[in-house]
Amino acid sequence: MLFVSLAAMSAAAGAYAQKKVNFGLKGGLNISNNDARFDNFRPGAYAGGFTEIKLNKHWAVQPELVYYRNQNPGQYYTTPDDHVAQAKRKEDYISIPLMVKYYAKPKLYVEAGPEVNYLIDAKEDIYGDTHSIIGHYNRLNVSGSLGIGYQLPRGFGVNARYSLGVQTRENATFYNNTGKVGITYTFEGK
């Protein structure tokens, strides 16, 4: 369903714009946290694909399909020897960002747009005991994203993006903050 949606958006935008269309791949480091503080980010990874539809020399629209993993601290537990320990939480998402890009220079761009994120798996691990917690989540959330990037020679590029969303879990609301830093590879289109 997600692949069909991305393909339909790309085809419709490409037909409407009748402009240059490029396809590409992206991947890199995903850092995340689930509170409003900026001192507790945990590393993860992301990978995906995109379609860039150039509207003119300065503007482009870029729908994407991305998988990413958030690693966050989980709930606190009391261990059998009466110590308090914090679980490790892993959350796997499929995300559909729709970015509007502005090329300030021919190779340098800024981007902004919404992301629809679908939680495909969530697990907590405490002392090697891993259990699923996906049933405790609202699996769909929306984020707002801002980014910057630069196109390098031979189709390669670098990109950084920050996304802020809100996630709900069992009557609790927390942030879905992610920062992504990575590389892109663009296949030249028509």
Q: Do residues 78 and 44 touch, judged by C-beta distance below 8 A? A: no
Of 36, 31, 25, 41, residue with least CA distance to 69: 31
> Is residue 122 scored above 90 in pLDDT?
no
What is the number of other CB atoms lying within 10 angstroms of the CB of residue 144? 12
Provide the percentage of residues in the chain whose pLDDT is more than 90.
Answer: 48
pLDDT at residue 183, as a whole number: 98
Topology of domain 2-187, CATH: Porin (2.40.160)
Contact present, 107 and 145 (Cβ < 8 Å):
no
**pLDDT-derived band at 141, boundaries 50, 70, 90:** confident
Residue spans per domain, the chain: 2-187
- Contact indicator for 101, 132 with CB cutoff of 8 Å: no
pLDDT tens for residues 63-112?
999 999 988 766 666 666 666 667 788 889 999 999 999 999 999 999 99
Taking residues 118-132, report their average pLDDT: 84
Predicted pLDDT at 42? 80
> pLDDT value at position 43?
87
Dist. CA 34–CA 89, nearest whole Å: 10
Q: What is the distance, to the nearest Å, from the Cα of residue 184 to the centroid of all Cα atoms in its chain?
A: 14
- What is the pLDDT of the chain when averaged over all its residues? 82
DSSP 3-state of 135: helix
